[in-house]
Amino acid sequence: AQPLLTIRGLTKHFPLKNGSTVRAVDGVDFEVLKGETLGVVGESGCGKSTTARLLMHLMDPTAGELIFDGRTVGSRDLPLKEFRRQVQMVFQDSYASLNPRLTIEDSIAFGPQVHGVSKKEAIARTHHLMDRVGLAPSRFAERYPHELSGGQRQRINIARALALQPRMVILDEAVSALDKSVEAQVLNLLSDLKREFGLTYVFISHDLGVVHYISDRVMVMYLGQVAEIGPSDSLFAQPAHPYTKALLSSVPSMDPAHRTQRAPLAGDPPNPINPPTGCRFHPRCPQAAAVCAERVPTISDVQLHHHARCLVHEFSSGHPLATADQPALA
Ligand code: SF4
Ligand code: MG
């Protein structure tokens, strides 16, 4: 598939009063392919939510560029306003994203009208979408957000995002606050809507089971960088980066036979202020060698379309340092 969104060198640093810098997102490169669901995982503080906000241009990046369907975002070819219509976002907190004083119908119909759609057309779109997300307009159009359940409100947020007819939707922990049964329904709804409207999703979640279920590809972030990216099945079956391995093995297994294999992540939680030298994961990495504290790993191929930022893979994929004098890491 062709890239819908190409992200190059995306960086967001927040300077602190004491002179240090939070490196929330630090040189991130990836593509979101047309029609895919790209899952994004990592511990809190890894930069996934900041990345999402940068993708939406809700904040200015410190550096980097976005290319959407061949056009540079923010250029004359693709002004921010037009880009912002084409990329919509659904957040975790279903209540905070809705104006409590607007009826459901007005909430959904508001965005299209801001973008120049007539009121009549905006209401028609709204009713169609309410039907599609399972909230009949006859029953729900005149209601207010506080009269709805969390699951219903999240359906409204999804309808509201789709009312702008976007090509891409960023879902940041969009099902994380829901009960498991409601979560499954909303995930199925998202899959149906994706097919029906030809959407592309970026699905950010701390829940690896949900990410595995919904994603075509998965990107693992660690301390503001991409640690690993690849097809979901290959990444979950054969994680290449020691961090991904640790993350996957820290998920409680449903299978009692495998419970003893749980290996929770050791070491200090990552801190994006003054990240470690060399490989940022080295203080916690069970496979770390001395060189890992000095040398910054680059992203290298693990398999076709599967990449990891780890010196083990960098050396074994034909890096010049993998010689008899300087053997690849064990
Ligand atoms: Fe671990 Fe070294 Fe690979 Fe970093 S580069 S993940 S410290 S083995
Ligand atoms: Mg977050």
The domain total for the chain is: 1
Residue 77 lies in a domain: yes
- Cβ(201) – ligand 1 distance below 6 Å: no
Amino acid symbol at 174: A
Check whether 197 has a pLDDT greater than 70. Answer: yes
pLDDT-above-70 percentage for the chain: 91
Question: Could you give the CA distance from residue 111 to residue 96 in angstroms, rounded to a whole number?
Answer: 16
Residue 176 lies in a domain: yes
Index of the ligand 1 atom closest to the CA of residue 279 = 4
Ligand 2 centre distance from Cα of residue 308 (Å): 23
Check whether 57 has a pLDDT greater than 50. Answer: yes
Distances (CA, A) of 209 to 38, 41, 285: 14, 11, 23
Q: Say whether 2 sits in a helix, a strand or coil.
A: coil
Residues 6+ apart with CB under 8 A from 30: 7, 38, 219, 226, 229
Amino acid symbol at 210: V
Residue 329 lies in a domain: no
Convert 128-163 into a string of H (helix), E (strand) and C (coil).
HHHHHCCCCHHHHCCCCHHHCCHHHHHHHHHHHHHC
- pTM of this prediction? 0.91
Index of the ligand 1 atom closest to the CA of residue 287 = 8
Check whether 124 has a pLDDT greater than 80. Answer: yes
Residue 19 lies in a domain: yes
Check whether 45 has a pLDDT greater than 90. Answer: no
Question: What integer is the mean pLDDT of 93-117?
Answer: 91
Residue 277 lies in a domain: yes
Q: Which value does ipTM take for this structure?
A: 0.93
Q: Which helix (H) or strand (E) covers residue 54, if one does? A: helix 48-55
For 283, the token pair is: 């203080």
Domain that holds residue 268: 3-316
Check whether 327 has a pLDDT greater than 70. Answer: no
Question: Could you give the CA distance from residue 192 to residue 273 in angstroms, rounded to a whole number?
Answer: 41
Residues 6+ apart with CB under 8 A from 78: 68, 71, 72
Packing angle, helices 104-114 and 150-162, rounded to 10: 20
Question: What integer is the mean pLDDT of 210-217?
Answer: 96
Residue identifier of the C-alpha nearest atom 3 of ligand 1:
310
Question: Could you give the CA distance from residue 213 to residue 233 in angstroms, rounded to a whole number?
Answer: 10
Residue 32 pairs with which residues in a beta bridge?
A: 5
Q: Which CATH number belongs to the domain containing residue 125 in this structure?
A: 3.40.50.300
Residue 323 lies in a domain: no
Ligand closest to the CA atom of residue 51: 2
Residue 330 lies in a domain: no
Ligand closest to the CA atom of residue 92: 2
- Cβ(23) – ligand 1 distance below 6 Å: no
Residue 325 lies in a domain: no
Index of the ligand 1 atom closest to the CA of residue 227 = 6
Index of the ligand 1 atom closest to the CA of residue 282 = 7
For 183, the token pair is: 């979560």
Check whether 230 has a pLDDT greater than 50. Answer: yes
- Cβ(239) – ligand 1 distance below 6 Å: no
Pick the closest to residue 91 from 179, 172, 161, 206 (CA basis).
Answer: 172
